[in-house]
Amino acid sequence: MRFRVNRPVIFRWDFIQGVPILSTNLDEAHRRAEALFKKEQQLREGQQAMADYQAELRAMQEKTARLRALRLARDAANKAPSANRKGLT
């Protein structure tokens, strides 16, 4: 039993006046190479975009945590003196 493997056809035999001539199917090979290059380029761009997105997300989370800590410290500082003032009057 023979199994067929789908492989790109780059070379084929042409017969001119009964003489076999090996010719290359350059257009097909070029098209497949372009398609492969495009897929690889899209993969690289996708990975770069995901890395950029994650870096921006991490920076935003750090900034949010810093601002939250500042806000809580400010609110705590503003709350403490007003409580003391109410007790004094």
Domain boundaries defined on the chain:
51-78
Determine the pLDDT at residue 77. 92
State the Cα–Cα distance between residues 9 and 49, nearest whole angstrom: 35
- What DSSP designation does 69 have? H
Could you give phi then psi for residue 68, rounded to 5 degrees?
-65, -45
Name the amino acid, one letter, at 47: Q
Q: How far is C-alpha 38 from the geometric centre of its chain's CA atoms?
A: 14
Q: How far is C-alpha 46 from the geometric centre of its chain's CA atoms?
A: 3
Low-confidence spans in the chain with pLDDT less than 50: none
- The 10s digit of each residue's pLDDT in 46-67 is 999 999 999 999 999 999 999 9
